[in-house]
Copies of this chain bind each other. A is one copy, B any other.
Amino acid sequence: MPVGTQGTVKSITPAQLREIGPQVILGNTYHLSLRPGDELVARLGGLHEFMGWEGPILTDSGGFQVFSLASMRKITEEGVAFQSHIDGSSHFLSPERAMEIQRNLGSDIVMALDECPPGGLERGPLELSMARTTRWLQRCKDFPLGEHQGLFAINQGSTHLDLRRDHLHQILEIDAVTPFQGFALGGLSVGEPKALMNATLAEFVHELPSDRPRYLMGVGTPEDLLFGIEQGVDLFDCVLPTREARHGRLLTSRGRLNIKNARHREADMPLDPDCGCYTCRTFSRAYLHHLFRAGELLAFTLNTIHNLSYTVGLTRAARLALLDGRFPAFASATRERWITEEP
């Protein structure tokens, strides 16, 4: 899922996004509730109508941003009091408020509010935090959403397998009453060593119910997407493709390149000869290099179109390989093509 934090996937239109072809995009509850405000979005017909995107939208709960962006947070059983990063104004995010905002936004997939513990938190405080997340999950579950909206639960437990299993067990007790629409893995890709994250995924993803989507939050790089899919993950979101694009760092089927580098100045070849996106069909590396060096806004747009096309294309190809029963060959062929020197 490309990330559209403030009601836009940065630098591209919904029409360009449609051509790129993601199945779902992500909107940020924290940002949209502060500006322009979720009630205003509701009065204007909801987030789909507001931003001109008729495809599915997942909204996060706002929790991760409150824990990482806002200042002066005060956490109680009721919820989180915080100050806006925009104007310092005071706000309160509770499980009920997180549901209300997402109901106002009218997203298709609604994420439960969880406490987002910092990576590396000790077991004791982590267990207390997870117990609260479970109580908050029940409160989210009790809140009435729109008819078309489905709620996902978020599993915590950092890289402790036993804690993940305990937490999943609690989630599934709530699920047994009325089922969730999907299950997310939170608290990974938050600063812990990559090997620990991968070990946790390898052991744990297959324990999540297989009849509903498994969502790995905040991931990731092409390498991480491929590894996650290998473990059974269905859904990802990450700002990486769009953010890297705005810095001229481009993802290709042969590996990463930086379009600012002088070696691309006269390069009369597409960014990625194996890519069929608008950018690769239409322009040379020399042109993209020129736009970036000249500070032209079009550089952000064309780089974003490519990085998203590459990332969405990678997951689409992985899906087809899975359906055809040839995923291992696909994954190793994809990895073999990535070279460490700049392609």
Chain B residue nearest to A45 (CB atoms) is B268
Task: Tell me which residues across on chain B come within 8 A of A291, comparing CB atoms.
Answer: 6-8
Indicate whether A302 sits within 8 Å of B6 (C-beta atoms), given known contacts A36-B290, A265-B36. no
A148 within 8 A of B: no
Q: Which residues of A in the span 294-321 have a Cβ within 8 Å of any Cβ on B? A: 294, 296-298, 300-302
Among residues of B, the one whose C-beta sits closest to the C-beta of A295 is B6
Bound complex: CA of A290 vs CA of B286, how far in Å?
34
Q: From residue A302, how far is it (CB to closest CB) to chain B in Å?
A: 7
Q: Is the CB of B12 within 8 A of A284?
A: no
A242 CB → nearest B CB, Å: 10
A51 interface residue, CB < 8 Å from B?
yes
* Closest B residue to A51 using CB positions: B287
How many interface residues does chain A have, given as a range? Answer: 35 or more
- The complex places the Cα of A294 from the Cα of B291 at a distance, in Å, of 24
Instruction: Return chain B residues, CB-CB under 8 Å to A298.
Output: 8, 10-13
A173 interfacial contact with B, CB 8 Å: no
A43 close to B266 (CB less than 8 A): yes
B12 touches A44 (CB 8 A): no
How many monomers of this protein are in the complex? 2
Query: Is there an interface contact between B14 and A287, defined as CB atoms closer than 8 Å?
Result: no
Distance between Cα atoms of A120 and B40 in the complex (Å):
53
Q: Are A293 and B35 in contact (CB under 8 A)?
A: yes
A143 close to chain B: CB less than 8 A: no
The residue in chain B whose Cβ has the minimal distance to the Cβ of A283 is B52
Q: A176 interface residue, CB < 8 Å from B?
A: no
User: Quick check: is A282 within 8 A (CB to CB) of the other chain?
Assistant: yes
A327 on interface, CB distance cutoff 8 Å: no
Chain B residues contacting A294 (CB-CB under 8 Å) are: 6-7, 35
A13 to B300: give the CA distance in the assembly, Å.
11
Whether A11 contacts B50 in the complex (CB less than 8 A), given A6-B296, A268-B44, A284-B44, comes out as no
| B40 and A286 within 8 A (CB) | yes
Closest 7 CB pairs of A and B: A11-B297, A52-B282, A36-B290, A8-B298, A6-B294, A8-B296, A44-B268
With A15-B278, A35-B290 already in contact, 5 other A-B pairs whose C-beta atoms are closer than 8 Å: A7-B290, A35-B293, A40-B286, A44-B268, A297-B297
